[in-house]
Amino acid sequence: MAKILAVDDSASMRGMVSFTLRGAGHEVSEAENGELALDAARGERFDLVLADVNMPVMDGIAMVRELRALDAYKGVPILMLTTESHADKKMEGKAAGATGWLVKPFDPEQLLATVRRVLG
């Protein structure tokens, strides 16, 4: 069981991710933009962060950059949830410090497989 932070401005996407991960026994917190995610991440250390790219207030790329600047988040897996049509966003996310990505649309099985991949 891992502590996971799911960041997405879309309630349905957040809900689907949390529901799936909780079903697999993980403890999931949610945040609806980068800024709120940073607040949450400063309050407790998550084992994995899943973040949408395109969000209001603070987007996923900026969030990753700030998160990586925190000592507690060096080496913590951060995955970007991104769409196929934005290949450049994957690299932008990587440059900002993301571990990898999961391409939208994904189904619960793909999500769990990816999470297993980073959490071992």
Residues that bind another protein (CB under 8 A): 9-13, 15-16, 19-20, 23, 54-56, 68, 74-78, 83, 85, 91, 94-95, 97-101, 104-110, 113, 116-118, 120
Q: Confirm if 71 and 41 have CB atoms less than 8 A apart.
A: no
**Residue placing its CB nearer to another protein in the complex, 23 or 44:** 23
Q: CA–CA separation, 93 vs 112, rounded Å?
A: 21
Q: Whole-number minimum distance, CB 35 to another protein, in Å?
A: 15
Give the chain's end-to-end CA distance (angstroms, integer).
11
* Residue 94 C-beta: closest distance to another protein, Å: 5
- Give the total residue count for the chain: 120
Nearer to another protein, 1 or 11 (CB): 11
Shortest approach of another protein to residue 5 CB, angstroms? Answer: 13
Q: How far is CA 114 from CA 40, 56, 71, in A?
A: 23, 26, 25
